[in-house]
Structure 1
Amino acid sequence: MSFKVGRCLLARRLREAKMTQQDLCEKLNMPPSQISDWANDVKKMSLGNAKSVAHALHIHIDDLYEWIPVDPSERKRARRRKE
C-alpha cells in the first residue's frame, strides 16, 4: 500500500502536548512564521524538520500528518498522466 500526505496535525498535537507554537519555536530555535505555516497547513515540513518536531513533542513522526492510502494502480495512472 502507498500513502500520500494529508493535512498537517501539528496544531492538534501542540494542544495535546499543552504547548503553544511559541513554545515549539523556542524549543527548536525556529522562526514563528515557519511553525505557523506548518500548523496552518500552508507548507509541508521537510523530513528533517518533521523528525525534530516529533522529537520535541514526544510523538511519532507519523502522527504529524494524516496519511491517505493510495491504491498502487492509482499512482501508476497519475504518473502516466504526467508523461
Structure 2
Amino acid sequence: MALARGRCRLRYLLKRANMSQAELARRTGYSPQQVSNWVNNREKIPWDAALNISYVLSCHMEELYEVVNV
C-alpha cells in the first residue's frame, strides 16, 4: 500500500493560526496568487515551500495535506 498527498489543509491551518492568505504570502515571500493556488488545490505545494510554510504556521509539513492510501 502506498501513501499519497490528498487534499491541501492549508485553508484550515491558516484559520487555526488566525492568518490570512495575504499574510502568509507576505511572511513567506510567495505571491498571493501562488498561495491561493495551493489553498484551492490548483497546485501542489513544493517541498521547499512546504518547509517554509510549516515553519511560519508552526506545524509539521505532514499536516499540510491529508494522507490517502492508494
Q: TM-score, normalization: structure 2?
A: 0.94
Aligned partner of 2:33 in structure 1 is 33
Shift of 1:29: 1.3
Is 1:67 aligned to 2:67, yes or no?
yes
Q: Distance in 1 between matches of 2:69 and 2:44?
A: 18
Shift of 1:69: 2.0
Please give the per-residue CA displacement for 1:38-76, whole angstroms capped at 9, x wherever unaligned: 001110011111111111100000000001123xxxxxx
Larger Rg over CA atoms:
1
Q: Distance in 1 between matches of 2:36 and 2:22?
A: 9
List structure 1 runs of 4+ shifted beyond 6 angstroms: none
Q: Distance in 2 between matches of 1:26 and 1:69?
A: 34
Percent of residue pairs bearing the same amino acid type:
33
Structure of higher RCO (CA pairs closer than 8 Å, 6+ residues apart) = 2
Q: Distance in 1 between matches of 2:37 and 2:55?
A: 19
Structure 2 residues not aligned, in runs of 5+: none
Aligned partner of 2:42 in structure 1 is 42
